[in-house]
Amino acid sequence: MPSPIIHIDNIIKTYGPLTVLDGLSMSVMPGEKLALIGPSGSGKTTILRILMTLEKINGGHIEIDGEQLYHMQKAGGLVAADERHLQKMREKIGMVFQHFNLFPHKCVRDNITLAPMLTKGIARAAAEARAMELLDMVGMADKAKSMPAQLSGGQKQRVAIARALALSPKIMLFDEVTSALDPELVEEVLNVMRKLAAETDMTMLLVTHEMGFAHDFADRILFFDKGRIVEEGKPDDIFRNPRQERTQTFLRKVIAAGHRV
């Protein structure tokens, strides 16, 4: 039995007086495709941002790929991770956001080469060759020299995916990556994610309101409410036979709002 690639143990996250995650624990196996669903404000983005070290935790432990994320071993004990440790751990994880956050003054190719050259010291020629492979994979090779402002939303998001892949992460996090897109552009981005799921053994965590996509893509669905996992299971079980009242209510609402399940 392999060990989990992500192990979240009893984490607490507060914003001032607000406790967003109150003793959350969960594990993700290597290669697993996980969809996080749940109402607005339930903590889905917070979990991804914590894994990406964009937010600090107030308690608990997280292990990524066999190593503590926010702690490190020192003199036989665990101490808070320093910036160098966080930097090293960050390379294991890539994240794609709802709003693409591309560097506006860099062309598509340079958006992708920047991090590998700066953080890993990869030579320009090698970084550019890899960028072109990734752009080819997301169907954007012909736009390598374009500026972000010249791209459609779907194209920007495909570049953002290529950029996140450039550091060869073991884990990819996707936070509502299609929800800012015009409907006709959604499918081209979902197709890239389908391809990644099919052709790589990356572990993928997806936050989405696209229930149809979550159903097809995920090995396991986690339904969150108020910072807790209310229900989890295989897509067919969660979507066809949700056991918990709160899951049923949520699914009724998203279906009423026109989302396909």
Ligand X SMILES: Nc1ncnc2c1ncn2[C@@H]1O[C@H](COP(=O)(O)OP(=O)(O)OP(=O)(O)O)[C@@H](O)[C@H]1O
Please report, as ranges, the residues that interact with ligand X according to CB under 6 A.
15, 18, 20, 38, 40-46
Residue 40 contacts which entry, ligand X, Mg ion, none (Cβ below 5-8 A, type-dependent): ligand X
Q: DSSP label at 91?
A: T
**Residue 257 contacts which entry, ligand X, Mg ion, none (Cβ below 5-8 A, type-dependent):** none
Site string for Mg ion, 188-227 (x = CB under 5 A): ----------------------------------------
**Interacting partner of 202 out of Mg ion, ligand X, none (Cβ under 5 to 8 A depending on kind):** none
Q: Which does 144 bind (CB under 5 to 8 A by kind): Mg ion, ligand X, none?
A: none
44 vs 130, which CB is nearer to ligand X?
A: 44
Binding residues for Mg ion, rule CB under 5 A, total: 1
**Could you give the dihedral angle defined by the CA atoms of residues 130, 101, 196 and 107, in that order, rounded to the nearest 10 degrees?**
-30
Query: What SS3 class is residue 24?
Result: strand
Q: d(Cα 44, Cα 127) in Å, to the nearest integer? A: 33
Any long-range contacts for 131-139 (C-beta under 8 Å, 24+ apart)? 131/162, 131/166, 134/162, 134/165, 134/166, 135/108, 135/109, 135/159, 135/162, 137/162, 137/165, 137/192, 137/195, 138/162, 138/192, 139/188, 139/192
> 244 vs 9, 71, 233, 238, CA distance in Å?
23, 35, 12, 9
Q: Which is nearer to ligand X, 111 or 208 (CB)?
A: 208
| Residue appearing with tokens 């060869």 | 168
Phi, psi at 232, each rounded to 5° = -145, 155
CB of 255 to ligand X, least distance (A): 17
Number of neighbouring beta carbons within 10 Å of residue 190: 20
CB of 105 to Mg ion, least distance (A): 28
- Looking at the Cβ atoms of 18 and 198, the one nearer to ligand X is 18
Q: Which two tokens stand for residue 111?
A: 């958006």
Residue number with CB closer to ligand X (115 or 186): 186
Q: Report what 155 binds from Mg ion, ligand X, none; CB cut-off 5-8 Å by kind.
A: none
Query: Taking the complex as a whole, how short is the minimal distance between the CB of residue 49 and ligand X, in angstroms?
Result: 7
Contact 230, 222 (CB under 8 A): no
Of residues 98 and 146, the one with the C-beta less far from Mg ion: 98
| Structure-token match 């015009």, residue found | 182
Site for Mg ion in 38-67 (CB under 5 A): 45
Q: 45 or 247, CB closer to Mg ion?
A: 45
68 binds, among ligand X, Mg ion, none (CB under 5 to 8 A by kind): none
The footprint of Mg ion (CB under 5 A) covers: 45
